Structure 1
Amino acid sequence: MKTKAVLTIRETTQILQAARAEAEKNNWPVAIAVVDDGGHLLGMLRLDGGAPISAQIAVEKARTSALGRRESRLYEEMINGGRAAFLSAQLKGALEGGVPVLVNGEIVGAVGVSGVKPEQDAQTAKAGAVAIS
């Protein structure tokens, strides 16, 4: 039997705080979501001024990253590169801004961010993802 690390409320809070700090440093009104390795929501924030839909998109980006075990932008790149078959996959957040959280080389969850430019969403998510490593 294999033993694995899991995100607790402590790590979830650390991830959210680190991503929030990155967003606030840049004045980015984003939503930030943290999910476990099965894509289940553990915590989320929508910063002041963030569009209501950004909360839903952030969760889906995080879920896509966790379930796919990779950054969500890779699915967007595959689709844009001509792999239209991925449009039929059960991935609602195949957009840049979802980043896996790794502990000892294993994916334990993911962070999703939505609300600004794709590369800014990803920058914010990465700041959260590395907060516990």
Structure 2
Amino acid sequence: MGQQLQKLRKMNNTEDEGIETSLDMDWVTSLEKKVSDTKFRARNREPTIYRVPYILKMVDLEAFAPLIVSLGPYNLDKGHLKSMNQLKWKYLKFVLEELNPRMVLEDYLIRFKDLETQARVAYSEEVEIAATVFLK
């Protein structure tokens, strides 16, 4: 194929006269490769968590930023949210000791680990953090 141009003939639906269009086959091949290399994950109507697009953040950066508490991996490094982590641990202790004392932390962690793949797929992009950090 190389740099050759392939001529495609398309018929105009209304007038039945031919219109010639040239396509650079290297360009077509590069687009086909891009499509082929693109990862696609079927979702089966599962909820998906998207990162806020940069263009929306430009309108009002604080409109999309968590102010008090954050769940999930997107805002792990935000210092102003770390003060709520202590409260998260208190609620976990309450769940373990008061709500269901028959289950211990290990029981919950086993269940969370079983759901990890499903939780990661809910995000629109790959979450590249260790399982221990993600589950925590």
TM-score in terms of structure 2 length = 0.21
Structure showing the higher helix proportion among its residues: 2
Which protein, 1 or 2, shows the higher relative CO under an 8 Å CA cutoff with sep ≥ 6? 1
TM-score by length of 1: 0.21
Q: Please say which structure displays the higher CA radius of gyration.
A: 2
Higher relative strand content: 1
